[in-house]
Chains A and B, each alone.
Chain A
Amino acid sequence: MTAQRAFRRRLHRIYGAYTVGFVAFVLLLAWLERIGLPRSWIGLIFLLATVALYAVIGLLSRTTNPDEYYVAGRRVPAFYNGMAIGADWMSAASFIGLAGTLYLSGYGGLAFILGWTGGFCLVALLLAPYLRKFGQYTIPDFLGERFEGRLPRVVGALAAVLCSFIYLVAQIYGVGLITARLTGLAFEIGIFVGLGGVLVCSFLGGMRAVTWTQVAQYIVLVIAYLVPVVWLSAQQTGDPVPLLSYGEQLKKVSQAEQRLLDDPREAQVIAVFEARAAALDAKLRDVPAALAADRAAAAGRLAALQAADAPLARLQAAAQALNRLPRDTDDARRAWTAARDTDLERARPLAGMPRHAQEFAGDPNGDAAARAAFDDSRRNFLALTFCLMVGTAALPHILTRYYTTPSVKQARESVTWNLLFIVVLYLTAPALAVLVKYEVFNVLVGTPFDHLPAWIGNWSHVDPGLLSVSDVNHDGILQLGEIRIGGDIIVLATPEIAGLPYVVSAMVAAGGLAAALSTADGLLLTITNALSHDLYFRMIDPSAPATRRVTISKALLLMVALAAAYLAAQKPADILFLVAAAFSLAAAALFPALVLGVFWKRANRWGATLGMVAGLGVTLFYMIGTQPWLRGVFGIESPVALWWGIQPISAGMFGVPVGFAVIVVVSLLTPAPSARTQALVESLRYPAVDTK
């Protein structure tokens, strides 16, 4: 008890000094920037310094002791476990993507906020204390022990590997993206540099190293997220705490929306896009003829220039235009359809964004179409919230963390701490989205093109996919419809929008890197533990000595990390879908078995095994049948049939109830678990009984 207290005091001292050191480091760089250190150097220094720091913590915590390697010796105090979970939890998607999603989809994006915080209620009430009482190493450990056998353990381990791996690919993708931005290296090289950062932590010291690095990473990422928002808020509203005052900004955004909807110049821009789409539509009606006409026109222009003996540059340009035309009719159809869809998308009012404060699309009191749109949008909002919540309470890399506290009591308390640390960021993201929207709607829109702020030029130079502006209606003034904005820019550009020095931008990128690295660490560890501990040690060679298990775990870690990096380098489907898919799969496969395992003694081996398979199966089936990218991969041609209009992103909506139902029905049809297992379930429920 006194040892624990002394340990806690030591941690407070170390991390207190660390935080002060980090702030001093940022201030030092800010000073160096003022005396003229170039930007690329600042980005590089930030990247190397933070990754080196994580590596040092990893090195200092290296271990081969299984208790230390798998569960950090079970002595992580609630407060620090909360912080580590915070970093483990907040991925690149939360840090970089969330504010952007909120900016683009308004109220609809709040499903992510609700889902990613509310899920911790399920963790706290239904799982964390019981898993801590059980007190083994992995989630499949629980499934194997509780459901008496290898089969539930194998199925659980495979499900854990599947959802963690999908999530891991998304994280490594994020790592590559940020490293590339921060250093100017190519994306693929960025992935492998970032991978090095992940490996030095988890490779040497397992959970112990990951935990203490994650605490350090949480501190970096929370400072990096809050500083620019506080600054922007102080600038806009005079109040550094945006949480109380951004309601006012939201009101102004709503007024601006109305103004922009009525603005004739916005209507002009929309008309231009509609005309472009109509022209493409006309070409699409007879592709061969249109393509031939385009070719003839381009060739004619080239011939005319040649005949007129035009300068070489113009001749080359005309030849290139001819070359750039689609090669054949299929190519042309594809290119023109895509271009038309983009034009139609951009021809919508408010650049396709819904009104920010409006709950759901459509109108419950409108005509039939508006009512249907409202119902559909509301149903999907709730379904997404549900899947994210239940997925939160089933992702193995989070649940394993509750094994690392010294007691059941501290496991419960660590949920409170981790939710607090997470909520700090999730309360800020919607505020940031509104503040940036205010800046864009009220300050940026209506600016003449030759007076645009510098950050627009900077970012459209870095990546036109993130931000591009063009004077569509040729009036020399920027309209909302003329801005193309990618969600990821919101967080990355905030420091510049707020007029902060470059060092803060570098800090934000380092924060995003910390978020992605810490999540990747946790996931990687979960995957390799499932493979080495649950499959190898428990299935193949139960007599393997502890150190060999840890060694095998490390070897697997390397292979899994390389496989994930390889996949991420292929730039698969969009990141948000990958993340949401991981949540839906975890929710459907693991949540019913875990919860019924604790709360229903009658749940047995066959029920749990078939329930996991059924939940996973239904979710995968629905996703593969409805998600465009997966349909392409599996070559499905039949028309998309949505069930009750639920989007593929929320496929877990069907998998979770099926999982529960199958476990209940099959368990009741097959014999009850043994008395020993029932006694185990009983003991899970009381903190102080039969402690191991």
Chain B
Amino acid sequence: MSTPEQRRRHWRGNRRLTALLLLLWFGVSFGASWFARNLNFDFFGWPFGFWVASQGALLVYLAIVGVYARAMNRLDHAQGLDEGE
């Protein structure tokens, strides 16, 4: 069973992680697209801006979702909030 202190820490950790990953999501989605024209240097044969929108961003999204699931499982465990599946 978890204590209020553990829950407080869990929620704080969760919010921080969420904010950080949302920032990354925003940068990849909108930041990179905004500057796409400036970023069209050659990247392994692709113009970089095109590569980001067709492949790079998708891989980052996958990483964001994967990292979140993994880190939250660990946080649950650390703060005694495991569901004990």
List residues of chain A with CB within 8 A of the CB of B50.
107, 110, 250, 357, 359
A416 to B10, CA, bound (A): 21
List residues of chain B with CB within 8 A of the CB of A538.
none
B68-A423 in contact (CB<8A) = no
Among candidates B2, B46, B81, residue contacting A250 with C-beta atoms closer than 8 Å: B46
The verdict on A121 contacting B25 (CB below 8 Å), with A412-B69, A416-B69, A685-B11 known, is: yes
The verdict on A416 contacting B81 (CB below 8 Å), with A125-B22, A381-B33 known, is: no
For window 44-85 of chain B, which residues contact chain A by CB distance below 8 Å? 44-47, 49-51, 53-55, 57-59, 61-62, 64-66, 68-69, 72-73, 76, 80-85
A323 to B47, CA, bound (A): 54
The verdict on A125 contacting B44 (CB below 8 Å), with A114-B57, A117-B58, A118-B61 known, is: no
Say yes or no for B41: interface residue by CB 8 A criterion.
no
CB distance from B19 to the nearest CB of A (A): 9
A357 to B48, CA, bound (A): 10
Say yes or no for A407: interface residue by CB 8 A criterion.
yes
A686-B34 in contact (CB<8A) = no
Among candidates B49, B55, B65, B76, residue contacting A121 with C-beta atoms closer than 8 Å: B65
A382 to B73, CA, bound (A): 33
List residues of chain B with CB within 8 A of the CB of A360.
36-37
List residues of chain B with CB within 8 A of the CB of A406.
85
B2-A686 in contact (CB<8A) = yes
A513 to B30, CA, bound (A): 33
The verdict on A117 contacting B61 (CB below 8 Å), with A409-B85, A416-B66 known, is: yes
List residues of chain A with CB within 8 A of the CB of B7.
685-686, 689
Interface centre among B2, B29, B30, B54 (most CB of A within 10 A): B54
For window 249-273 of chain A, which residues contact chain B by CB distance below 8 Å? 250-251
For window 144-178 of chain A, which residues contact chain B by CB distance below 8 Å? none
| CB within 8 Å: A-B pair count | 144
B82-A687 in contact (CB<8A) = yes
List residues of chain B with CB within 8 A of the CB of A117.
57-58, 61
The verdict on A359 contacting B40 (CB below 8 Å), with A1-B85, A426-B58 known, is: yes
List residues of chain A with CB within 8 A of the CB of B62.
416, 419-420, 423
B65-A416 in contact (CB<8A) = yes
The verdict on A125 contacting B76 (CB below 8 Å), with A117-B57, A250-B50, A686-B7 known, is: no
B37-A364 in contact (CB<8A) = yes
CB distance from B5 to the nearest CB of A (A): 13
Chain B minimum-CB-distance residue to A415: B65
Say yes or no for A484: interface residue by CB 8 A criterion.
no
Count of residues in B whose CB is under 8 Å from the partner chain: 46
List residues of chain B with CB within 8 A of the CB of A415.
65, 69
Say yes or no for A656: interface residue by CB 8 A criterion.
no
Among candidates A107, A251, A382, A420, residue contacting B30 with C-beta atoms closer than 8 Å: A382
Count of residues in A whose CB is under 8 Å from the partner chain: 53
A113 to B55, CA, bound (A): 9
Say yes or no for A611: interface residue by CB 8 A criterion.
no
The verdict on A413 contacting B64 (CB below 8 Å), with A125-B18, A686-B2 known, is: no
Say yes or no for A688: interface residue by CB 8 A criterion.
yes
List residues of chain A with CB within 8 A of the CB of B25.
118, 121-122, 125
Among candidates A121, A122, A407, residue contacting B83 with C-beta atoms closer than 8 Å: A407
List residues of chain B with CB within 8 A of the CB of A687.
76, 81-83
A430-B83 in contact (CB<8A) = no
Say yes or no for A101: interface residue by CB 8 A criterion.
no
B84-A688 in contact (CB<8A) = yes
B2-A125 in contact (CB<8A) = no
A419 to B33, CA, bound (A): 21
B53-A121 in contact (CB<8A) = no
List residues of chain B with CB within 8 A of the CB of A419.
61-62, 65
A430 to B61, CA, bound (A): 17
B14-A685 in contact (CB<8A) = yes
CB distance from A426 to the nearest CB of B (A): 6
List residues of chain A with CB within 8 A of the CB of B21.
121, 125
List residues of chain B with CB within 8 A of the CB of A42.
none
CB distance from B14 to the nearest CB of A (A): 7
A388 to B14, CA, bound (A): 26
A151 to B16, CA, bound (A): 34
Chain A minimum-CB-distance residue to B18: A125
CB distance from A574 to the nearest CB of B (A): 24
CB distance from A583 to the nearest CB of B (A): 15
A114-B36 in contact (CB<8A) = no
B61-A688 in contact (CB<8A) = no
B34-A107 in contact (CB<8A) = no
Interface centre among B11, B46, B61, B65 (most CB of A within 10 A): B65
A118-B76 in contact (CB<8A) = no
List residues of chain B with CB within 8 A of the CB of A385.
29-30, 33
List residues of chain B with CB within 8 A of the CB of A416.
62, 65-66, 69
Say yes or no for A243: interface residue by CB 8 A criterion.
yes
List residues of chain A with CB within 8 A of the CB of B73.
409, 412
Among candidates A114, A125, A382, A386, residue contacting B68 with C-beta atoms closer than 8 Å: A125
The verdict on A124 contacting B65 (CB below 8 Å), with A110-B54, A385-B29 known, is: yes
List residues of chain A with CB within 8 A of the CB of B34.
378, 382
Contact with B along A112-141 (1 / 0, CB 8 A): 011001101110111001000000000000
A114-B53 in contact (CB<8A) = yes
The verdict on A113 contacting B58 (CB below 8 Å), with A124-B68, A357-B47, A686-B81 known, is: yes
Contact with B along A673-692 (1 / 0, CB 8 A): 00000000000011111010
CB distance from A380 to the nearest CB of B (A): 11
Interface centre among B61, B84, B85 (most CB of A within 10 A): B61
B54-A410 in contact (CB<8A) = no
List residues of chain B with CB within 8 A of the CB of A426.
58
Known A118-B29, A121-B61, A431-B54; further 6 A-B contacts with Cβ < 8 A: A125-B21, A357-B40, A386-B30, A412-B73, A427-B54, A688-B76
- Cross-chain pairs A/B with CB under 8 angstroms, 17 sampled: A114-B29, A118-B28, A247-B44, A359-B36, A360-B36, A364-B37, A382-B30, A385-B30, A385-B33, A389-B29, A408-B83, A409-B85, A426-B58, A686-B10, A688-B82, A688-B83, A689-B7
Q: Interface residues, chain B, CB within 8 Å of chain A? A: 2, 7, 10-11, 14, 18, 21-22, 25, 28-30, 33-34, 36-37, 40, 44-47, 49-51, 53-55, 57-59, 61-62, 64-66, 68-69, 72-73, 76, 80-85
Q: Which 8 residue pairs are nearest across A and B when measured between Cβ atoms?
A: A247-B45, A359-B36, A110-B53, A412-B69, A247-B46, A430-B54, A124-B65, A121-B25
